[in-house]
Amino acid sequence: MKRIDFLTKIVPAAVLGASLSSCKRRGEGGRSSVFTRTVNWRLASSFPRGLDTIFGASEQLAKRVKELSGGKFNIRVFPAGELVPGLQVMDAVQQGTVQMGHTASYYYTGKHPGLAFETGVPFGLTARQQNAWMQEGGGRELIQALLGRFNVHYLPGGNTGTQMGGWFRREIRSLADLKGLKMRIPGLGGQVMNRLGVNVQILSGGDIYPALERGAIDATEWVGPYDDEKLGFFRIAKHYYTPGWWEPGAALAFYINQKEWDQLPPVYRSILETASKEASADMLVKYDARNPEAMERLLAKGVKVHSFSQDIMEASEKAAFEIYEEESKKDPLYAEIYKSWKKFRAQSIDWFGVSENRYSESVGKMKES
Ligand code: CA
């Protein structure tokens, strides 16, 4: 196959444009391969293989990068714990232990609290709103400015969609029922719950089920029907609450060591950008396709779905915004990110309120009647 045939058949237009222009710049002409350098990278994921939709995004990215580079750019993917523990992926990328990671920025709010806005915060944006803010609303530039302080180049790494509010052994009818409740809920969601009187527990994925089983915790959150079903919480706690207001559209990210990114030939950077966007979009598609089926199975097993009461929703939203206002006073970059996010959020809520949300509401009511 002639080189140009290969390029037009396999490489997307954006990558093709970049590769041909880089050839021209080097005066190589269109015939010689643009993939002159063999690159071997290691990617540390923060996630176990069992989370196939999330972990699978890294494998999909690696496969695509290899194909698009004609086998020259190889990324070997390692699940959490094989090279580094899941919560140390950012450190490993920062220090160059690995060239690349797949993680959630909100694990690293200890480094800077503003990182939470890249993943999403309580009462924040849905997946579509988050993508729009990041890609078109100025979010990505602000987040990159923050990650740049840590020697990290950002690429999008997927989204789970709106998560569920978790599994409760007893019904939670009002704010008063949350007082003293032992719940596994990490991050900012946990900070908000703490302000509402919840006894917040932080447990990693594998430790949740046994803790729930022996009554060490009364409730836990995880992701949504597809992932939650696999961990079997429904066997112990039958009350499944909605919505997961602390993660209305949890985004993941690919982190790349800045020096490694800078050293990559431009065409390889384009390939990574393209493959990361593809893997991101596909993760959400998988959740949107698999969650409804999993929810049907859970309902058939006797799971009861409840909505959080209005007093819980209002008190949680108030507590969440108190936290954002407090943090804004401490750090100028946090304040800048918060300001951009808050403005985008307000407009976006209004727009979705008269378009998609209004439509879903109407169709939902007609289905019930
Ligand atoms: Ca969650």
* 240 Cα to the center of ligand 1, angstroms: 13
* 247 Cα to the center of ligand 1, angstroms: 6
Q: Is the dihedral of CA 217, 223, 224, 226 positive or negative?
A: negative
pLDDT mean over 72-82: 97
* 166 Cα to the center of ligand 1, angstroms: 8
Least confident of 86-95, 202-211, 278-287, 343-352: 202-211
Q: Which two tokens stand for residue 20?
A: 């041909």
Q: Is the dihedral of CA 365, 367, 368, 369 positive or negative?
A: positive
* 367 Cα to the center of ligand 1, angstroms: 28
* 73 Cα to the center of ligand 1, angstroms: 33
pLDDT of 18 strictly over 70: no
Q: Which residues have CB less than 5 Å away from ligand 1 (the ion)?
A: 163, 221, 247
* 320 Cα to the center of ligand 1, angstroms: 16
Q: Are 353 and 361 in contact (CB under 8 A)?
A: no
The pLDDT of residue 300 is: 98
* 221 Cα to the center of ligand 1, angstroms: 6
Rounded to the nearest angstrom, the gap between the alpha carbon of residue 28 and the centroid of all alpha carbons in its chain is: 40
The 10s digit of each residue's pLDDT in 301-340 is 999 999 999 999 999 999 999 999 999 999 999 999 999 9
* 246 Cα to the center of ligand 1, angstroms: 8
pLDDT of 30 strictly over 50: no
Confidence of residue 114 (pLDDT cuts 50, 70, 90): very high
Per DSSP, helices labelled H in 69-186 are 89-95, 116-119, 127-136, 139-148
C-alpha to C-alpha distance for 158 and 161, rounded to whole angstroms: 9
Percent of the chain's residues with pLDDT above 90: 87
Confidence of residue 204 (pLDDT cuts 50, 70, 90): confident
pLDDT of 24 strictly over 70: no
C-alpha to C-alpha distance for 180 and 312, rounded to whole angstroms: 14
**Closest of 32, 46, 306 to residue 173, by C-alpha:** 306
Residue type, 366: M
* 121 Cα to the center of ligand 1, angstroms: 11
* 17 Cα to the center of ligand 1, angstroms: 40
pLDDT of 17 strictly over 60: no
pLDDT mean over 125-139: 98
pLDDT mean over 64-86: 96
C-alpha to C-alpha distance for 123 and 106, rounded to whole angstroms: 15
pLDDT mean over 346-353: 97
Helix (H, G, I), strand (E, B) or coil at 299: helix
* 54 Cα to the center of ligand 1, angstroms: 13
Burial of 173-188, coded b for 16+ CB within 10 Å and e otherwise, reads eebeebeebbbbbbbb
Q: Which domains does the chain have, with CATH numbers?
A: 3-161+248-289 (3.40.190.170)
Q: Are 115 and 105 in contact (CB under 8 A)?
A: yes
pLDDT of 45 strictly over 70: yes
The pLDDT of residue 7 is: 41
Q: Are 141 and 290 in contact (CB under 8 A)?
A: no
C-alpha to C-alpha distance for 360 and 357, rounded to whole angstroms: 5
* 223 Cα to the center of ligand 1, angstroms: 4
pLDDT of 182 strictly over 60: yes
pLDDT mean over 15-29: 45
* 225 Cα to the center of ligand 1, angstroms: 11
The pLDDT of residue 32 is: 60
* 12 Cα to the center of ligand 1, angstroms: 35
**Closest of 136, 174, 122, 169 to residue 310, by C-alpha:** 174
Residue 30 CB contacts under 8 Å (≥ 6 apart), including other chains: 3, 4, 20, 23
pLDDT mean over 109-131: 97
* 159 Cα to the center of ligand 1, angstroms: 12
Helix (H, G, I), strand (E, B) or coil at 7: helix
* 117 Cα to the center of ligand 1, angstroms: 15
* 206 Cα to the center of ligand 1, angstroms: 14
Residue type, 130: Q
Per DSSP, helices labelled H in the chain are 3-10, 13-25, 52-68, 89-95, 116-119, 127-136, 139-148, 187-195, 205-213, 225-231, 258-263, 266-300, 310-330, 332-354, 356-368
**Closest of 301, 324, 276 to residue 131, by C-alpha:** 276
Q: Are 308 and 193 in contact (CB under 8 A)?
A: no
Helix (H, G, I), strand (E, B) or coil at 220: strand
The residue count of the chain comes to: 369
Q: Which two tokens stand for residue 84?
A: 């580094």
Q: Which two tokens stand for residue 23?
A: 């050839």
Confidence of residue 19 (pLDDT cuts 50, 70, 90): very low
The pTM for the full model equals: 0.89
* 184 Cα to the center of ligand 1, angstroms: 10
* 162 Cα to the center of ligand 1, angstroms: 9
The pLDDT of residue 172 is: 97
Find residue 222's DSSP bridge partners: none
Q: Are 33 and 1 in contact (CB under 8 A)?
A: no
* 163 Cα to the center of ligand 1, angstroms: 6
pLDDT of 10 strictly over 70: no
* 108 Cα to the center of ligand 1, angstroms: 16
* 203 Cα to the center of ligand 1, angstroms: 12
Q: What is the mean pLDDT of the chain?
A: 92
* 244 Cα to the center of ligand 1, angstroms: 7
C-alpha to C-alpha distance for 356 and 223, rounded to whole angstroms: 23
* 78 Cα to the center of ligand 1, angstroms: 22
The 10s digit of each residue's pLDDT in 137-176 is 999 999 999 999 999 999 999 999 999 999 999 999 999 9
